[in-house]
Amino acid sequence: MKRRLLGSVLCIIGLCSCTLEPDYKRPALPVVSAWSDAAGVAGASSAAAADAANPPAPLAADVDWRTFFQDPTLQQLIGLALDNNRDLRVAALNVAQYEAQYRIARSALLPTIDATGAVDNTRALGLTSKESSVTLGETSWELDFFGRLRSLKHQALEQYLATDASQASTRISLIATVATDYFQWLADQSLLEVATATAEADRQTYEVNLKSEQIGNASMQDVRQAESEYASVRSSLIADRRAVAQDLNNLVAVIGCPVPDGLLKSGALDAAQLPPVSAGVPSDLLTRRPDILEAEHTLKAANANVGAARAAFFPAIQLTASAGTASTALSGLFKAATGAWTFAPTVTMPIFDYGNNRAALDVAKIQTQIDVANYEKAIQTAFKEVANALAGRTTYVDQVASDREYVSASTHYDELAQARYRAGTDSFLVLLDAERTLYTARQQLVNDRFAELSNLITLYKALGGGWASPAA
């Protein structure tokens, strides 16, 4: 008898372990299997040659953000953002919510057991009756023969994992945004310093020309040209001050709290350095970019939902049983011959549903196709972002090096123009051209240096940088 009972239990467990989910197959990679040579740029740059001479860099996903961003000020700003940013806080709460929903779906696979006590008093035809009862094991259990509940549990698990990956993606994006906003503040501070120095030089030039014109050594045309140049630079100076103030507001918004007094210090943009990271191969993105993992978990959840929709076509078997004791006297509630039990299996079989189950299955299949397209789109978007950032890494190094040469040459040109103007060899127009050229060269160097750093941050983010980082 015991063997038959054990066999029956094992048979039920075996049947309940089956599902009608389609076999999941990861969609083929909708991009090429390798990055373009030299990031798709004809002619390897000095950056590519430097990469070849150095040992292989680690994959970005394995580089903790504290290792990648070594500026102490930036590290403190990122730490504040991870503690206070509201978007990240909402993402964490979403993970907790979906984890709870997964536990709800998992609990549906197990029997529910309740205990109930009751006292009934009845009066009819002048007679009073009283009955007391205690039900110690009221049990309800759906036998998941066709895997409906198991598929729903699998769907809830994949949704939970997708939300967890979304939180990681939000975290990486937040870190990148803080770093970009910080370097933007440094860049605009540098532009403000350049504009301030240039405005002061133009002011002095204007005053010298004004005095010279008053004693007959300069023309009014030179005075007006100097005045015009001074006014133009003052306008740029005001715009740079506004940009710095807006940058600070952006930092406050992204970190979620005021920036500590004395934390931000200008002048560090040119000295900022970010370590090299390896791009690996495109297929690495499938396991190292949280947004792609999120899309795949969403696809798996849709695949599990197809199994649940298929199972809805088959009978649902519900077992309801209880055991306890009942008596007309409370004192005799637990005496012999007061036991009571019920056992009520029910089978629900869909017969006429006017196409409801068929429509639900069609919806589940179509949703799977949508999620396949979204998954492939996520991969293509990731590939584009990485490829563009790799191309930027190759070219920005050379561009900034050229900018430094431009500033150096413009400085020499300005010094020569100053000397020749004072000697009376060249006109004031030549001097103005030299000053404008130097001002433009300095601005261009700052802007391209910021673009270089911003591109490296984008590459780190696009490669899933910090994915393996411990929670901060």
- Is 143's pLDDT higher than 90? no
- Residue 294 is predicted with a pLDDT of 94
Rounded Cα distance, 293 and 297, in Å: 6
In this prediction, residue 286 has a pLDDT band, given cuts at 50, 70 and 90, of confident
Which residues, in sequence order, are bridge partners of residue 322? 342
- Residue 470 is predicted with a pLDDT of 47
pLDDT over 70 percentage in the chain: 79
- Residue 194 is predicted with a pLDDT of 94
Number of Cβ atoms within 10 Å of the Cβ of 334: 11
Select from 171, 170, 167, 169 the least CA-distant residue to 96. 167
Torsion of CA 309, 312, 313, 319, to 10 degrees: 160
Select from 100, 161, 151, 166 the least CA-distant residue to 302. 151
Work out the burial of residue 417: count CB atoms within 10 Å of its CB; fewer than 13 is exposed, 13-18 middle, 19 or more buried: buried
- Residue 40 is predicted with a pLDDT of 43
- Is 39's pLDDT higher than 70? no
Rounded Cα distance, 156 and 304, in Å: 9
- Is 118's pLDDT higher than 70? no
Select from 284, 253, 251 the least CA-distant residue to 467. 284
- Residue 55 is predicted with a pLDDT of 66
- Is 176's pLDDT higher than 60? yes
Rounded Cα distance, 283 and 383, in Å: 10
- Is 44's pLDDT higher than 80? no
In this prediction, residue 5 has a pLDDT band, given cuts at 50, 70 and 90, of very low
- Residue 196 is predicted with a pLDDT of 95
In this prediction, residue 472 has a pLDDT band, given cuts at 50, 70 and 90, of very low
In this prediction, residue 4 has a pLDDT band, given cuts at 50, 70 and 90, of low
Place of tokens 């060899």: 425
How is the chain split into domains, by residue range? Answer: 15-109+150-311+359-462
- Residue 49 is predicted with a pLDDT of 44
Domain 15-109+150-311+359-462 falls under CATH 1.20.1600.10: yes
Select from 391, 281, 379, 387 the least CA-distant residue to 33. 281
In this prediction, residue 189 has a pLDDT band, given cuts at 50, 70 and 90, of very high
pLDDT tens for 309-351 read 888 888 877 777 666 555 455 455 555 555 566 666 777 777 7
CA distances to 23, 147, 323, 358 from 305, in Å? 12, 11, 36, 13
- Is 103's pLDDT higher than 80? yes
Q: What is the mean pLDDT of the chain?
A: 82
What average pLDDT score do residues 24-42 get?
71
Q: Are 47 and 393 within 8 A, CB to CB? A: yes
Rounded Cα distance, 105 and 260, in Å: 46
Number of Cβ atoms within 10 Å of the Cβ of 242: 12
Rounded Cα distance, 186 and 257, in Å: 19
Contacts of 134 (CB under 8 A, 6+ apart): 115, 116, 117, 118, 324, 325, 326, 333, 334
HEC secondary structure over 406-458: HHHHHHHHHHHHHHHHHCCCCCHHHHHHHHHHHHHHHHHHHHHHHHHHHHHHH
Q: Are 190 and 269 within 8 A, CB to CB? A: yes
What average pLDDT score do residues 406-422 get?
93
Max CA distance (Å), the chain? 131
In this prediction, residue 128 has a pLDDT band, given cuts at 50, 70 and 90, of low
pLDDT tens for 209-261 read 888 878 877 788 888 988 999 999 999 999 999 999 999 999 999 999 999 99
CA distances to 177, 398, 400, 412, 454 from 405, in Å? 31, 11, 9, 11, 22
- Is 42's pLDDT higher than 50? no
What is the C-alpha end-to-end distance of the chain, expressed in Å? 58
pLDDT tens for 56-97 read 788 888 899 999 999 999 999 999 999 999 999 999 999 999
Rounded Cα distance, 434 and 414, in Å: 5
Residue 89: both structure tokens together: 């806080």
Work out the burial of residue 452: count CB atoms within 10 Å of its CB; fewer than 13 is exposed, 13-18 middle, 19 or more buried: buried
